[in-house]
Structure 1
């Protein structure tokens, strides 16, 4: 593991949890996850069902249950059903870390699906890497990371803000104000956005961060009022995102003269806040519920009619999470063919997942595939504008899949390969976070 100042605090916090619960650190190799004949394939679902992150993460849990039900009804994985083990991380980074140990060591899951924020992902990665396990991280993130134990199905910065920033500058003007939640993903995402903004000839008027879960935006909106930007670029997440959009309108700001361009505010958040508060604003994502293709129509109708569709909408993060279940299925089948079912481990699934394609017939957003080197996803970026009914009209879409580039603004760092980060000197460092 490569330690940096930005992850030292989180790693220390994770270690303190291990000290508080030493029974979870079982050293024997007997606790490695393997598949057993005649038993279901256990996977861990590690999302927040309560707290400030429950708005997007509850739906991730629901859509994964729907996906695995769908897979099981169609014969499971090589004829074996998948059994999700569901835990509530409670929007608490220490709980994420503790539950990761329980899922790996006590429940002996073969893979983990979880986390919405980069802070929670970084809280659990030391355990995932120590046990040489496997995490499917199913949402957008900032990049600048190269591990050998993750598969990511959401977009990187070069697959959303790289398009969104110049689009907004062209449509609304060069002056922008950044607002984000106070943790690693918004800050790193804004580093990327600044690069795209400079290339587009834009001007950054201000940059503010609020505590994760906070609902008080009065001071920030006051600074925005004084600065008079042409648009706001938002990396605010969870319940805070809902509060931000509500207070934006309640304070008298006009969406037609100063819209919010977001990487997170989709159909779920808009439904939670009310369409009146979302209408007119913009989102960059690879998926929108309004995508017009037979696979998406089947997905939307099937999910919303199922017992898991209680929240009444689909969403980019849900669809990326749904895809992760099918990436897992394909990776497990490929690993079993390569090493034999009895020898499948979390690492062998990961190592056999490069190049996996989820075709149009399965993927609601259309064909995607896993990069053979960095294990992120090739996908088509899109930009949508929220309508009066809470759905999004797609106003721009890429013509073809865009390669994931985790080090797009750090070219001197090297290249992420399947074996680690290969620097300009040719040396390879493993598990760089």
Structure 2
């Protein structure tokens, strides 16, 4: 490669369809990181050049477009996907073609591929702490609701096992099409009101997540009494749901926009300068941003786009991300991440209640799933407006 040639990378995030509210923020995070890298001279004097496609939130399209990126566009490094079902479409493509796929989304765990770098939280980094928190703060009777695809089923399987370790009980479990509208939740909300759980664990994603929270509020549900707890509901969705319907609800994630740190303030300022607002900044957006920077450092080290060389450089690599320092675990291609639990306040902003003292080693197969291990390494956060203030 001559110095004048660009380094092409693929971006596979939906800017239309039911998951676009999240994937647009992931695309923005990746584009911001690319801008920052190119502004300082690119990699060895050559810029990163994104080749971007919109799969339209249609699951088979992710695999088809991954194939196009590799074959037609001559790209062998791809960033993309939100839903696990879309990741499963891309996985055999990158394995068959020996391309590198960086996946910036929390997921259900129980997967490993030498062709994937997993940048989002796995169960021991979010499901275990959330289950522990719910049972200690609210009670042990939990109602499950989820979207009808791979991640919610697998996430609920993990959550059920974790709850049982702590003496918890699943009092109901329902799944819904990704296109479910507000009135489609009437029956399950009636069922929830009759069951009177201590909390609701939601893995509903996309636009239907917004409809579910609004419907729960309209039926008299109060997050300060019986919260909807989630691993996926983020700042962009809370903004769409509205503060009145969101107050008291809970999310566990490595990153929240409200983190007070120099790195996060720098990130948010740059994001607002590029996109006009930080209203849609999410943990998945931050993960995409961080993964592009990790990749750029690996490319700077190797000076070539060879998959095997890049993988070797990425394993063990670290980055001072907006959430705090993260590191790719050379044991399993997943990422050491921070872990936080936050509650939505009356202004519609997440207030962090608990956080870990250091990044958690990823354990995608829950080899050590003991529920109470997490609590020994956490600290309450006293912030005005927070549950523990």
TM-score, normalized by the shorter chain, greater than 0.5:
yes
CA separation of 1:406/1:277 partners in 2, compared to 1, >3 Å: closer, same or farther?
same
Partner of 2:35: 69
1:231 aligns with 2:199: yes
1:36, 1:391 → 2: CA distance?
Answer: 48
Gaps of 5+ in 2: 370-389
Q: Choose which of 251, 260, 267 in structure 2 pairs with 1:292.
A: 260
Partner of 2:299: 332
TM-score normalised to the size of structure 1?
0.82
Structure 2 residue matching 1:205: 3-state secondary structure: strand
Q: Answer yes or no: is the 8 Å Cα contact 1:174–1:203 preserved in 2.
A: yes
Partner of 2:385: none
Structure 1 residue matching 2:192: 3-state secondary structure: helix
Partner of 1:81: 47
Q: Deviations over 1:131-151 (max 9, x none)?
A: 010111001011111111000
Alpha-carbon distance, 1:335 to partner: 2.7
Partner of 1:356: 317
2:367, 2:142 → 1: CA distance?
Answer: 20
In the comparison of the two structures, how many residue pairs are matched? 367
1:97 aligns with 2:63: yes
Q: Choose which of 167, 172, 177 in structure 2 pairs with 1:206.
A: 172
Alpha-carbon distance, 1:36 to partner: 5.7
Alpha-carbon distance, 1:37 to partner: 5.0
2:50, 2:294 → 1: CA distance?
Answer: 15
Partner of 2:281: 314
Partner of 1:346: 307
Q: Choose which of 111, 130, 138 in structure 2 pairs with 1:145.
A: 111
1:391 aligns with 2:349: yes
Structure 1 residue matching 2:300: 3-state secondary structure: helix
Alpha-carbon distance, 1:409 to partner: 5.7
Q: Which runs of 4+ in 1 moved over 6 A?
A: none
2:39, 2:3 → 1: CA distance?
Answer: 19
2:213, 2:204 → 1: CA distance?
Answer: 10
2:278, 2:17 → 1: CA distance?
Answer: 17
1:183 aligns with 2:149: yes
1:152, 1:331 → 2: CA distance?
Answer: 15
TM-score normalised to the size of structure 2?
0.91
Matches within 5 A, 1:205-284: 205-215=171-181, 216-284=184-252
Alpha-carbon distance, 1:311 to partner: 6.3
Alpha-carbon distance, 1:352 to partner: 2.2
